[in-house]
Amino acid sequence: MTTTISDLIGHTLPEKSLNQLSLVGHSKAEMQAWVNTLPMMNVGETTKRLYQTLQELTKLKASEETRYELLEVLRSCVHTILNSLAKHYLNQSVLLPDRANRVAALAQSLRVHLALGYKMVAYDCIEKLNTKLSIIGIGRRQQQQLAAQSFQRAISELGGLLLETNLLYLPPPSGLWLDLHSLYRSAVAYGVAQTKIPDVLAHVNQELTSTEAYLRCIILAASHTNKLRQAEIRQIYTASEFWTSYLKIKTQAGSSDLLLIDTDNDLPPTYVSKSAEVAHALCVDAQKLVQHFQTLQSTPPNQVNKAEILTPSLFQHLIGIWSAPTERTFARRTYEGELLVCLGLTATHYHLADEVDFESLINIRSAFTEEEANLFLRNNTANEMGATDLWRFNIGNVPGVDAETANKRQSKEATQDMYPPQAAIIVNISPGGYCIRWQGEPPISLRTGEVLALREPEDKSWNVGVVRWVKQLPTEGAEAGVEILSARAKPCGSRVLKKTGDSTEYMRTLLLPEMKSLHRPATLIAPNVSFRSGYRVLIRLGNEEVKVQLTTETLTTQSFSQFEFALLQSADKPQTILPDQTANSVAGKSESKDDFDSLWNNL
């Protein structure tokens, strides 16, 4: 995959050696008629024909006007097929199986050939703009307009390729950033970077300039997408059509600049504070963008454009990285070892509970009604139904200690294989967490923002952490960055107490004790679908319960939220929490090839 794409990006343009296309004539009318007859429901056959035609179109002997017209006819059809192909490789495991990987490679090759065609038109226009006839004004306006259109299209298609690689947590293809920088600089040099170009494929705006298309790439690259999930990455790229107006590209550095772009090298933007001085550098001021994020965060959703309605965790992420350069809290060091991990709140809760099922841990059988759970009420009900004598029932059916122990052991044996730990290789380590790698197939549930239990094989106790970032290394497997949240978390059950007097079902939660060394108070990890700041919550472990009120939400992801909380007195008023008091309140009580022939029939 990488070899094929890299051969087409950032290198010299292909030689125009074909006099005609194999499957269709090279007039606009013939191309449109051919596209109309494509079997769009047969994705494999249509993809095969488009792939061949796009390849040939980059080698066709044709004027820049003709090539542009043909590409425009094909563009919408190609994007429809790209959306169909994406279903085969998105929302899967981080490390794709072979077939999905090859489909992704095919989709990227289609987009690269489309971008290459527009790039050829743009540079053909530049060549004509440098001729004597153009310099004196003959045909110059038409060539400038065609150049503006082609630059915008080429940058947009390369931006789409950048989005694809970000969605798959892959590094960008070699030469991609050099091509983007070169196209943008050329558009600026010939005065067409700010020309509005109609674009029916834009999600929000009906017109985009080359500068806006380029800034969308900058926004995507600087948003630390390896710390986000695929849906969030796509949200950012879609909403970036709005956000380009809040960024300013400058040729002279200023004190408020956040990013620096080295346009002479194949590099993404980097923080100004972390880069050396380079020639032909561009700087980006992001202050207005941060202000816009903060405004959106406090604006009711019904007053915001649908594309800019983001989750609180995503707003938090964007405001953090666009406000100032991110710095590591702890230094990393290389470490050789293995780590056992269990992903997800259910699996984490299970292993922290020493492989005891949830109902047994909180000593509640959710399947029973109140009458069924109460022995005396249950006996009365039985008598009313003509059951045997009450005394006989008590003597014969109340289990002894030995029977109760046996039941617990059977329950543990029945569930011990439900959430088996998976082994990962430790790449490096810091006091705050690990970088880990899977050489084989990573867990299907591996994604950013997921809670996990982890320990080294020789340890007996589990730590609780969160997956902070994910990336795919084509030759080495999938890697993840894990931040340790606590080494002494306690599994418990919690339910929300409603003002009406009712309450929700008990849900799995984790109680994290205070960490004095890091100045972190005691917190509760809970599913983010049911728990909010300000809610009154009942925390249960075994037969003991404590009532709290959730206060500050310190962390939120798509999987869970982490809250500070205050103990409630009998009158349901928050009680000041002393160090370690909260923990004690509950715990004290208890490589692909450029050969897609075998794919066509399977798509």
Q: For residue 560, tell me if it sits in a domain.
A: yes
Residue 311: HSE in the Cβ half-sphere, 13 Å Cα cutoff: 19
Does residue 199 contact residue 156 with C-beta atoms inside 8 Å?
yes
- 576 plus 439 within the same structural domain: no
Measure Cα distances from 244 to 122, 247, 292, 294, 320 in Å: 23, 5, 11, 16, 18
Q: How many helices (H) and strands (E) does the chain have?
A: 19, 19
Query: Are both 501 and 481 inside the same structural domain?
Result: no
Domain membership of residue 225 (yes or no) is: no
Taking residues 379-404, report their average pLDDT: 43
Work out the average pLDDT over 477-505. Answer: 89
Same domain, 172 and 53: yes
In a domain, 101, yes or no: yes
Of residues 64 and 473, which shows the higher confidence score?
A: 64
Its domain, for residue 432, covers: 333-337+419-486
The three-point CA angle 375-508-525 to 5° equals 140
Residue identified by tokens 């960055």 is: 481
Distances in Å between the Cα of 147 and the Cα atoms of 127, 193, 217 are: 10, 10, 20
Q: CATH number of the domain at 499, please.
A: 2.30.110
Between these two residues, 336 and 474, which has the higher pLDDT value? 336
Its pTM surpasses 0.75: yes
Domain boundary among 459, 486, 513: 486
Residue whose structure tokens are 């700041």: 533
Q: Is the same domain home to 478 and 560?
A: no
- Tokens for 531, please give them: 């728990």
Q: State yes or no: pLDDT of 152 exceeds 90.
A: yes
Burial status of residue 15 (CB atoms within 10 A of its CB: 0-12, 13-18, 19 or more)? exposed
Q: Residue 401: is its pLDDT beyond 60?
A: no
CB 167 within 8 A of CB 85: no
Element (H, E) at 246: none
Q: Where are the beta strands (DSSP E) in 33-84?
A: none
- Tens of pLDDT, residues 415-471: 556 789 999 999 999 888 999 998 788 888 899 999 999 999 999 899 999 999 999
What is the DSSP secondary-structure string of 143-192? HHHHHHHHHHHHHHHHHHHHHHHHHTT-PPPTTHHHHHHHHHHHHHHTT-
- Give the single-character DSSP code of 14: P
Residue 373 has what pLDDT? Answer: 46
From 88, 90, 94, select the one nearest 446 (Cα to Cα): 94
Whether the Cβ atoms of residue 244 and residue 222 lie closer than 8 Å to each other: no
User: Is 84 in the same domain as 178?
Assistant: yes
Residue 265 lies in a domain: no
> Residues 497, 503, 508, CA angle at the centre, nearest 5°?
85
CA–centroid distance for 317 within its chain = 12
Residues 468, 559 within the same domain:
no
Q: Is the pLDDT of residue 361 over 50?
A: yes
- In 3-state terms, what secondary structure has residue 288? helix
In this prediction, residue 389 carries a pLDDT of: 42
Place 141 in a pLDDT band, splitting at 50, 70 and 90: confident
State whether 545 and 436 are in the same domain: no
> Can you tell me the distance from the alpha carbon of 381 to that of 400, in angstroms, rounded to the nearest whole number?
23
CB of 450 within 8 A of CB of 559? yes
Around Cβ 431, how many Cβ atoms within 10 Å? 12
Average pLDDT, the chain: 85
User: Which are the contacts of 473, defined by CB distance < 8 A and separation ≥ 6?
Assistant: 437, 479
The pLDDT tens digits of the residues spanning 515-539 come to 777 677 899 999 988 899 999 999 9
Tell me: do 49 and 175 sit in the same domain: yes
Name every residue whose Cβ is closer than 8 Å to that of residue 363 and which is 6 or more positions away in sequence. Answer: 540, 542, 543
Domains in the chain: how many in total? 3
Name the domain boundary from 186, 208, 230: 208
Question: Contact at 8 Å (CB) between 220 and 162?
Answer: yes
* Residue 433 near residue 483, CB atoms below 8 Å: yes
Residue 480 lies in a domain: yes
Of 248-257, 464-473, 590-599, which range is least confident?
590-599
pLDDT confidence bin for 138, thresholds 50/70/90: low
pLDDT at res. 233? 96
From 463, 486, 509, the end of a domain falls on 486
Residue 28 lies in a domain: yes
Q: What is the CATH number of the domain that holds 457?
A: 2.40.10.220
Average pLDDT, integer, range 184-188? 96
Confidence of residue 285 (pLDDT cuts 50, 70, 90): very high
pLDDT higher than 80, residue 165? yes
Say whether pLDDT at 503 is over 80: no
The amino acid occupying position 386 is: G
The percent of residues above 90 in pLDDT, for the chain, comes to 61
- In order of 95, 138, 180, 300, the CA distances from 235 in angstroms are 22, 44, 22, 18
Residue with the larger pLDDT of the pair 589 and 5: 5
- The owner of tokens 């003709």 is 66
State how far the Cα of 561 lies from the Cα of 532, in Å rounded to an integer: 8
- Position 221 pLDDT exceeds 80: yes
In a domain, residue 306? The reply is no
Q: How far is CA 408 from the centre of its chain?
A: 40
On whether the CB atoms of residues 442 and 448 are closer than 8 A, the answer is: no
pLDDT band at 135 (very low <50, low <70, confident <90, very high): low
Q: So what's the pLDDT on residue 405? A: 53
* Same domain (yes/no): 7, 141: yes
Q: Which residue has the tokens 């390849």?
A: 55
Distance CA 156, CA 590 (A): 59
474 or 289, which is more confident? 289
User: Rounded to whole angstroms, how far apart are CA atoms 404 and 411?
Assistant: 11
Q: Give dist(CA 141, CA 567) in Å, integer.
A: 73
| Spatial distance between the Cα atoms of 274 and 389, rounded to a whole number of angstroms | 81
* pLDDT tens-digit series, residues 298-357: 999 899 999 999 998 899 999 999 998 876 666 778 888 999 999 999 999 999 999 998
Is residue 347 assigned to a domain? Answer: no
Q: Could you give the CA distance from residue 127 to residue 179 in angstroms, rounded to a whole number?
A: 17
For the chain, the farthest-separated pair of C-alpha atoms sits apart, in whole angstroms, at 112
450 and 562 fall within a common domain: no
CB-count burial class (<10 Å; 0-12, 13-18, 19+) for 484: middle
Residue 343's nearest CA partner among 351, 334, 354 is 351
Q: 457 Cβ partners below 8 Å, 6+ apart?
A: 338, 340
Query: What pLDDT sits at residue 528?
Result: 86
Q: Which of 117-126, 341-350, 361-370, 570-579 shows the lowest mean pLDDT across its residues?
A: 570-579
Higher pLDDT, 78 or 324: 78
User: Is the pLDDT assigned to residue 264 strictly greater than 80?
Assistant: yes
Same domain, 132 and 93: yes
- Same domain? For 202 and 107 the reply is yes
Q: Specify the pLDDT at position 594.
A: 52
The arithmetic mean of pLDDT across residues 132-160, rounded, is 86
